[in-house]
Amino acid sequence: MTVKLFTPPTLPKRGGYSQVCEVTSGKLILIAGQVPHDVNDKMVGEGSFEAQVEQVFRNLDAALKAAGGSMKSLVKIMNYCVASVSYEERMVYRTVRDRHVDTANPPVSTFIYVVRLAQPNWLFEMDAMAVIDG
């Protein structure tokens, strides 16, 4: 494999994501911010953080497949969540994420709270990077 996801012993061991991604070859895929809209551009999960996160992961999966990859190709995810989502609600994110990513070798990850996203009814958005052997 041309990608090594790991947490070196010199960094804190955090659950659910790797601290470092080393890429030695392959095709780099950059995926724009995915939002909670379906293929027909219809809003999914109005007011439901869990439903919006699920739709974003479905969109991410579709983008990866279109580029010739899969969710196992993910090396980095950047998560953006509106500040009105409580800590308890945010814990749902991990449950949804773990259904979609390789939990044995999770991508590096950042989770950021923001005042709002581009559309006022969006609660969550994610952009990503993937590497496909090639």
Q: Evaluate if residue 134 carries a pLDDT over 80.
A: no
**Structural domain range at position 124:** 3-132
d(CA 62, CA 56): 10
What is the distance between the alpha carbons of residues 45 and 23, in angstroms, rounded to a whole number?
35
Q: Is 83 exposed, middle or buried (0-12, 13-18, 19+ CB in 10 A)?
A: exposed
pLDDT band at 133 (very low <50, low <70, confident <90, very high): confident
Output the domain CATH number for residue 110. Answer: 3.30.1330.40
**39 phi and psi angles, rounded to 5 deg:** -60, -25
35-55 pLDDT, tens digit each: 999 999 999 999 999 999 999
Number of folded domains in the chain? 1
